Amino acid sequence: MLMRVASNSYTNAMLDQFNTLVARQNTLQSEVSTGLSVQTPSDNPVAMQNTLNYLADNATQQQYSANISTLQARADTVDNVLQSLQSASSQASQIATSAGNVTTNSPTQLATYADQVNQLINQVVTAANTQDPATGQYLFGGTASGAPPYTTTTGANGDVTAATYNGNSTVNQVPIGSNLTATVDIPGANPGATGARGLITDQQSGADFLNHLISLRNDLQAGDTTAIAGTDTANLQHDENNISFQVANNGVQQTKLTAAATFATNNTQSLNQQISDASSANIVNVMVQLSQAQTAYQAALESGSKIMSLSLLNYMPA
C-alpha cells in the first residue's frame, strides 16, 4: 500500500528553507554595507556587551576631553588677567619705592603718583571683574560667578575709597579623567586660613591688593612718605608675592591639563580600536560567506522548482 504524501509538507519545508537562506543573505549583506558584524544582541551577545561597554567608556572620555578643552581656554583667559595684575603690582611697587624717597619728591610729584595709583586701582577692579568669554561667568567670584565679584565705593572726587567682594572662596573642581579633577578658577578673596588662595585678598599670604593700593594712594595724597616707605611698600610686596604664586599655579594647572589632554586622546584612540575590534566585520570572510549563501539560495530555488513541478500522480498507484 502506497502512502500519500501531503503536497503542502514540501511547500512548508521549502518556504522555511528559503526564509532561512534569505535571512542569512540579508545579515551578510548588512555586514558588508555597514562593516559591522554585530547589529543586534542576538548576533553575538558577548561582542555586543563589549561594544556597548566600550561605547559608554568612549562617551565618558569624550566628556573628559570637552572639559579639558574648556578649562584650557579658561586658563588662558585667567593667565591674561594675571599678567595684567602682575604688571599693575610691579608699577605700584615702583611708585612706592620712588615716592618713599623724601629727598627727591615734591608735593606735585606725589600728587602725580597718586593719580597713577588711582588708575591702577581702576585697572585692578576691572581685571578682578573679568568674565569668561565662552560662558559669561565671572572668573574670580568663586562659585558665585553670576555677578561681578567686586563693587566699589567712590568719594566726591570720583576716587575709589573702598572695594567690596561679593563672591565666595569656593572653586569648582571639574572631572578631567577617572578619579581626576582640576580647576583653573581663583576666588577673588579668601579671608580664611585654608582653601584656595584668593587673588586680590588672601589671609594666608597677607595679600589685600585693592586696599593696599587705596592706602598707598591716600598716603601719597597726604604726603606721608614714612608710611609709603614702610607699611605700603611691605604690603605691596605681599601682593606681588601672591600674584606670582597665582601665575605659577596657573602654569602648573595648564601643564596638568596638557598631560590630561594627551592621555584623553590616546585613550579615545584605544577605545575606538577596541570598538572596531569588537564589532567590525571581516569583509573578505563575509563576502565569501555571502557568495556561498547566494549559491545555496539559488540551488534551493532550482531544487524547489523541480520538486513542485512533479505531479502528485507520480506518487499515486497506476
Q: Has residue 307 been placed in a domain?
A: no
Return the pLDDT at 265: 77
Around Cβ 26, how many Cβ atoms within 10 Å? Answer: 11
Burial class (CB in 10 A: 0-12, 13-18, 19+), 152: middle
| Count of structural domains within the chain | 1
Query: Which 3 state secondary structure label does DSSP give 307?
Result: helix
Domain membership of residue 94 (yes or no) is yes
CA distance 197 to 15: 78
Q: Count how many Cα atoms sit within 13 Å of the Cα of residue 159 in the half-sphere of its side chain.
A: 16
CA distance 301 to 312: 20
Q: State the residue range of the domain holding 264.
A: 54-273
Residue-level pLDDT at 103: 72
Other CB atoms within 10 A of residue 202 CB: 27
In a domain, residue 14? The reply is no
CATH number of the domain residue 190 falls in:
1.20.1330.10
Whether residue 281 is contained in a domain is answered as no
CB atoms within 10 A of CB 42: 8
- Specify the 3-state DSSP secondary structure of 193: coil
303 within some domain? no
Q: What is the pLDDT of residues 234-265, one digit of tens each?
A: 999 999 999 999 999 999 999 999 999 988 77
The answer to the question of residue 293 being in a domain is no
Cα–Cα distance list, 130 to 19, 124, 186, 207 (Å): 69, 10, 12, 20
* Amino acid code (one letter) for 295: T
The whole-number pLDDT of residue 59 equals 83
pTM of the full structure: 0.71
221, part of any domain:
yes
Identify whether 135 is part of a domain: yes
Regions of the chain short of the pLDDT cut 50: 1-3, 5, 281-283, 286, 311-313, 315-318
Residue 111 grid cell: 600728587
pLDDT computed for residue 29 by the predictor: 61
The confidence score (pLDDT) of residue 316 equals: 46
